[in-house]
């Protein structure tokens, strides 16, 4: 094995943005993504940039995606490496389009086909006659594996087993040997028809199911059948990533676990665990779902993996798009260790050889009397040192947990204060606007003062004049306050962002069960509580970030709209003028036609009628020109209407998010209070016990 083979490589991520679809164009959606030419970077809104291994904007053709991102995986496949391509994204973002999962043989000459048909062609172009190709096709729906190639209506029992040498195996799954591209496409078609027939609820369910099309290559290296290289390629069209009813999930984590697609949820957890430097080498929750179990080797295992993160450019999808961008960003941090899959027996032999060598070295050391393994008192001392260190670390851990939980409590309080300040400020602002528009402000009091004779009246008016100035000053101050609130929030975000990903322990929903906990678990619950609170705090931050983005967007759109306002009024006037112009021209035209008609009979009037004909033509072209203008203006007006609709939709979303934020905060406060009481009680119990 060369150095290169042992190299650890991250999961590669390609971001793909589809064009706006006609429905989005009709609804007046705008594009909220910007691409930097020559850089693998995408910018959301104004300045949030994300970088990936590849970024494909909406003009990128299927062929380019394949050549740039997928082709090298296939070269690896033939060298014996496993490979996986995952398409991730919300429903309608282009996963199936990119993967080409619904390809049929009728599309043979179609240039817009996706990854799967291209892979099939390439495999049969490249393979030699010592290579056997096998396919399987399965679907995971509701945590159930459906064999799409079984051909029978009965569901055979399928189980997943982990072989220490060969990795993950699916027992009971149909695997078909195929000898030509046509035959392989046949399998794909058969599987797809099973997918749609499989369940009547599947149409709405297809966006909730994962489809995995797997190709296995077995390349014999000599006449001996056992001397072969086996490599697998998984092509995965994941379920839609949109979060369902996120607002409700807050109160009831258990229900959330059931209603949200478990596969994507645990895929996210696996990605987090693998992507976090600080958690390297710790437990990865592959077993939480069928999907992560099947893809265990593709994520952080023995595979070259590409994630195609699909997004829609429409502003109406901005929230989901940001979620996808962040998810994909985490995936990039995963490191895989692909190895060439030689025959398990050969691999075992190599492993044994290495073990023998290591044992020999140990034996030599032992004979020389310097072995650390066999010495008597040495390990014991080491042991007690380790134990001591361990208990120190445990102490420090519980101290840090306590501090963390306090800090999180404070954070929540501060957030609350920021929000109440924000609300008060908004109220003030609207009052100020009212005041500013008040007619009293527009009276030129200076002139009134000068023209007044009565001294007392004069003084009173001067007082009012002062008041006018105070109002103006207030307005300035208010702007200052808004700016400082914004600064505070962003500072806060930066502070918490530095913490890395925090995950509460899996499988313990809600607050710790106060009744069943005994004194021994006090520390553990303290830690868990702190982590849970910190997680909520992070959710809060997420919410705040998205809120800020949305608010900025609305502001921008409103500005655009207010610029449109005078234009709109002008247009409306223009339109009236144009309409009456069209009317009068039409009348003139009709009169002319009548004249022409009567003139025909009179030969002497031929010349005159020629002129009239010309005039008629002129009139006609003028009329069409005016009508065109009318149409254009109507179109512009419609555009403005739809953008107004968008603004109000966004505003509604913002309101809903604010409510969600308040709920989350309330819950954090309640949790923290409950926890405080519980802890207090427990500590008293412990004291009593000690006294006894
Ligand atoms: P998903 O599988 O993610 O739910 P689809 O692949 O079905 O989404 O795509 C939704 C729609 O967008 C389809 O009509 C598809 O043809 C179109 N579409 C997706 N990606 C592209 C693209 N890159 N270019 C052109 N049309 C696309
Ligand atoms: Mg799809």
Q: What is the mean pLDDT of residues 425-438?
A: 80
Q: What is the pLDDT of residues 574-589, one digit of tens each?
A: 778 777 877 888 888 7
Q: Is 96 known to sit in a ligand binding site?
A: yes
Of residues 375 and 395, more confidently modeled: 395
pLDDT surpasses 50 at 628: yes
Which residues lie closer than 8 Å to 161 by C-beta, 6 or more apart?
Answer: 168, 169, 170, 171
Sign of CA dihedral 63, 66, 69, 74: negative
Which residues lie closer than 8 Å to 674 by C-beta, 6 or more apart?
Answer: 511, 514
Which alpha helices (H) appear in 295-376, and where do they start and end?
318-331, 344-367
Q: What is the mean pLDDT of residues 132-153?
A: 90
pLDDT surpasses 50 at 420: yes
Q: Is 101 known to sit in a ligand binding site?
A: no
Q: Which ligand is nearest to the CA of 93?
A: 1
Q: In this structure, how many other beta carbons lie within 10 angstroms of the beta carbon of residue 286? A: 24
> Which tokens belong to 266?
């645990």
pLDDT surpasses 80 at 231: yes
Of residues 15 and 538, more confidently modeled: 15
CA dist 263 and 260 (Å) reads 9
Please report, in angstroms and rounded to a whole number, the separation of the first and last CA atoms in the chain.
66
Q: What is the pLDDT of residues 255-299, one digit of tens each?
A: 434 445 778 888 888 877 776 666 666 778 888 889 999 988 777
Place of tokens 């086909």: 113
- Ligand 1 atom nearest 21 alpha carbon: 12
Helical pair 606-691 and 522-600, crossing angle rounded to 10 deg: 170
Per the DSSP assignment, residues forming a β-bridge with 640 are none
- Pick from 169-173, 221-225, 374-378, 515-519: least confident: 515-519
Contact (CB, 8 A) for 169 and 162: yes
- Ligand 1 atom nearest 237 alpha carbon: 2
Q: What is the mean pLDDT of residues 668-676?
A: 82
Of residues 205 and 80, more confidently modeled: 80
Share of the chain above pLDDT 70, in %: 79
Residue 70: what pLDDT? 96
CA 602 → CA 31, 307, 335, 551, distances in Å? 64, 83, 95, 74
Confidence of residue 514 (pLDDT cuts 50, 70, 90): very low
> Which tokens belong to 662?
């308040």
pLDDT surpasses 50 at 127: yes
Best CA proximity match to 609, nearest among 622, 621, 623, 598: 598
Which residues lie closer than 8 Å to 65 by C-beta, 6 or more apart?
Answer: 14, 16, 56, 98, 115, 308
- Ligand 1 atom nearest 58 alpha carbon: 23
Which residue's C-alpha comes closest to atom 10 of ligand 1? 92
Q: What is the mean pLDDT of residues 539-543?
A: 80
Of residues 197 and 287, more confidently modeled: 287
Q: Is 51 known to sit in a ligand binding site?
A: no
Confidence of residue 388 (pLDDT cuts 50, 70, 90): confident
**Listed residues: CB within 5 A of ion ligand 2:** 95-96
Residue 605: what pLDDT? 64
Q: What is the pLDDT of residues 291-346, one digit of tens each?
A: 999 988 777 777 888 999 999 999 889 889 998 998 898 888 766 666 666 666 66
Which residue's C-alpha comes closest to atom 22 of ligand 1? 18
Residue 106: what pLDDT? 92
CB 96 near ligand 1, within 6 Å: yes
CB 95 near ligand 1, within 6 Å: yes
Confidence of residue 42 (pLDDT cuts 50, 70, 90): very high
CB 323 near ligand 1, within 6 Å: no
19 CA → ligand 1 middle, Å: 9
Residue 201: what pLDDT? 44
CB 99 near ligand 1, within 6 Å: no
Q: What is the mean pLDDT of residues 198-226?
A: 75
Confidence of residue 485 (pLDDT cuts 50, 70, 90): low
Of residues 536 and 250, more confidently modeled: 536
CA 213 → CA 116, 185, 264, 442, distances in Å? 9, 11, 18, 73
140 CA → ligand 1 middle, Å: 21
Q: What is the mean pLDDT of the chain?
A: 78
E strand intervals along 228-356? 228-237, 304-311, 335-336
Confidence of residue 246 (pLDDT cuts 50, 70, 90): very low
CA dist 233 and 212 (Å) reads 10
Among 56, 92, 97, 192, residue to substitute to test ligand 1 (most atoms within 8 Å of Cβ)? 97
Share of the chain above pLDDT 90, in %: 22
pLDDT surpasses 50 at 382: yes
Contact (CB, 8 A) for 1 and 321: no
Q: What is the mean pLDDT of residues 461-469?
A: 81
Which residue's C-alpha comes closest to atom 17 of ligand 1? 94
Residue 64: what pLDDT? 96
What is the pTM (predicted TM-score) of this model? Answer: 0.57
pLDDT surpasses 70 at 668: yes
Q: In this structure, how many other beta carbons lie within 10 angstroms of the beta carbon of residue 485? A: 15
295 CA → ligand 1 middle, Å: 25
163 CA → ligand 2 middle, Å: 32
Of residues 246 and 671, more confidently modeled: 671
User: Which of 209-218, 271-280, 638-647: highest mean pLDDT?
Assistant: 209-218
Contact (CB, 8 A) for 138 and 155: no
Which residue's C-alpha comes closest to atom 11 of ligand 1? 92
CB 18 near ligand 1, within 6 Å: yes
Residue 669: what pLDDT? 81
98 CA → ligand 2 middle, Å: 9
């Amino acid at each position: 094995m060369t150095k290169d083979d042992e190299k650890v490589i991250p999961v590669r991520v390609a971001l793909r943005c589809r064009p706006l679809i006609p429905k989005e164009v009709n609804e007046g959606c705008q594009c909220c993504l910007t691409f930097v030419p020559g850089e693998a970077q995408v910018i959301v809104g104004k300045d949030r940039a994300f970088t990936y291994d590849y970024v494909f904007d909406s003009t990128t053709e299927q062929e380019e995606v394949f050549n740039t991102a997928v082709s090298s995986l296939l070269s690896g496949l033939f060298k014996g490496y496993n490979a996986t391509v995952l398409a991730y994204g919300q429903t309608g973002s282009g996963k199936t389009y990119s993967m080409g999962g619904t390809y049929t043989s009728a599309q043979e000459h179609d240039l817009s086909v996706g990854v799967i048909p291209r892979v099939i062609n390439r495999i049969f172009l490249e393979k030699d006659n010592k290579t056997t190709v096998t396919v399987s096709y399965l679907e995971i729906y509701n945590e159930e594996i459906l064999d799409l190639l079984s051909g029978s209506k009965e569901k055979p029992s399928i189980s997943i087993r982990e072989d220490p040498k060969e990795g993950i195996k699916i027992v009971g799954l149909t695997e078909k040997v195929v000898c030509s591209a046509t035959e392989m496409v046949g399998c794909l078609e058969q599987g797809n028809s099973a997918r749609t027939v499989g369940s009547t609820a599947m149409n709405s369910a297809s966006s909730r199911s994962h489809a995995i099309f797997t190709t296995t290559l077995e390349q014999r290296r000599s006449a001996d059948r056992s001397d072969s290289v086996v490599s697998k390629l998984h092509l995965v069209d994941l379920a839609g990533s949109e979060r369902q009813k996120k607002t409700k999930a807050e109160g009831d984590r258990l229900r959330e676990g059931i209603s949200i697609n478990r596969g994507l949820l645990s895929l996210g957890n696996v990605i987090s665990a693998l992507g976090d430097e600080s958690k390297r080498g710790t437990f990865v929750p592959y077993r939480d779902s069928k999907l992560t179990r099947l893809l265990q080797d593709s994520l952080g295992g023995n595979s070259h993996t590409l994630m195609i993160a699909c997004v829609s450019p429409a502003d109406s999808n901005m929230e989901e798009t940001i979620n996808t961008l962040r998810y994909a960003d985490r995936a990039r941090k995963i490191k895989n260790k692909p190895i060439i899959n030689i025959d398990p027996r050969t691999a075992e032999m190599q492993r044994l050889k290495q073990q023998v060598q290591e044992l020999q070295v140990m034996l030599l050391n032992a004979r020389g009397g310097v072995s650390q393994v066999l010495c008597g008192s040495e390990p014991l001392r080491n042991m007690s040192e380790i134990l001591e260190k361990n208990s120190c670390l445990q102490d420090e851990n519980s101290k840090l947990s306590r501090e963390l939980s306090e800090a999180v409590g404070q954070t929540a309080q501060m957030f609350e204060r920021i929000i109440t300040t924000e609300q008060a400020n908004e109220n003030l602002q609207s009052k100020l606007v009212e005041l500013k528009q008040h007619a009293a402000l527009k009276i030129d009091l200076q002139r009134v003062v000068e023209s007044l004779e009565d001294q007392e009246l004069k003084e009173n008016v001067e007082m009012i004049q002062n008041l006018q100035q105070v109002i103006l000053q207030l307005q300035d101050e208010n702007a200052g306050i808004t700016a400082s609130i914004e600064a505070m929030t962003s500072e806060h975000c930066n502070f918490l962002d530095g913490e890395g990903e925090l995950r509460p322990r899996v499988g313990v929903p809600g607050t710790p069960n106060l009744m069943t906990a005994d004194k021994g678990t006090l520390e553990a619950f303290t830690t868990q509580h702190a982590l849970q609170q910190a997680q909520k705090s992070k959710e809060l931050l997420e919410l705040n970030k998205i809120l800020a983005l949305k608010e900025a967007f609305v502001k921008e759109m409103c500005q655009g709209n207010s610029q449109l306002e005078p234009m709109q009024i002008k247009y409306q006037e223009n339109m009236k003028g144009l309409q009456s112009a069209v009317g009068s021209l039409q009348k003139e035209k009709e009169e002319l036609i009548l004249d022409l008609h009567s003139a025909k009979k009179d030969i002497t009037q031929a010349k005159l009628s020629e002129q009239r004909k010309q005039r008629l033509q002129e009139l006609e072209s003028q009329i069409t020109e005016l009508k065109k203008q009318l149409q254009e203006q109507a179109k512009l007006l419609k555009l403005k209407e739809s953008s107004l609709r968008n603004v109000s939709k966004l505003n509604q979303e913002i309101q809903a998010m604010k409510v969600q934020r308040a709920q989350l905060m309330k819950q954090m406060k309640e949790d923290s209070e409950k926890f405080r009481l519980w802890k207090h009680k427990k500590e008293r119990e412990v004291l009593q016990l000690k006294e006894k």
